[in-house]
């Protein structure tokens, strides 16, 4: 079946540091890949997505590239801010649209200190 593996956390960085959060997946076919972010006390929000190989999703300074050869979708940001402190989930879906049942990784907590 489908699965998503995220690097172990938590991660603590200083403001303006470079961020990489690793995510690898197992799936048949060509799934869509997602990064969701959950800020304290709020629901998950879509951060970015990619629907086919070599696509790069980007939003709010975050980027992730769909690498089919390495089955990875690592999240990066060049300079993190305190406001980026949150829990980040990598996810995949075999379909798009209303049937897009998501398989999530365990999530990783990012804390950014001033």
| Residues at the contact surface with another protein, assessed by CB under 8 A | 4, 36, 41-46, 89, 96-107
Confirm if 11 and 110 have CB atoms less than 8 A apart. Answer: yes
Give me the least distance between CB of 66 and another protein, in Å please: 18
Closest CA to 87 of 73, 71, 107, 103: 107
Instruction: Tell me whether residue 14 or residue 83 sits nearer to another protein (CB atom).
Output: 83
Give me the least distance between CB of 97 and another protein, in Å please: 7
Instruction: Tell me whether residue 31 or residue 107 sits nearer to another protein (CB atom).
Output: 107
β partners of residue 60: none
Instruction: Tell me whether residue 9 or residue 72 sits nearer to another protein (CB atom).
Output: 9
Give me the least distance between CB of 87 and another protein, in Å please: 10
- DSSP annotation of 106 reads -
How crowded is the C-beta side of 97, counted as CA atoms within 13 Å? Answer: 2
């Amino acid at each position: 079946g489908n699965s998503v593996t995220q690097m172990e956390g938590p991660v603590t960085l200083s403001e303006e540091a470079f961020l990489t959060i690793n995510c690898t997946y197992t799936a048949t076919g060509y799934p869509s890949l997602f990064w969701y972010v959950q800020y304290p006390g709020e629901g998950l929000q879509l951060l970015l997505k990619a629907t086919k190989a070599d696509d790069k999703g980007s939003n709010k300074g975050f980027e992730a590239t769909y690498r089919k050869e390495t089955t990875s979708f690592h999240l990066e940001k060049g300079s993190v801010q305190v406001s980026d402190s949150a829990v980040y989930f990598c996810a995949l879906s075999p379909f798009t649209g209303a049937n897009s049942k998501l398989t999530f990784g365990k999530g990783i907590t990012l804390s950014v200190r001033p």
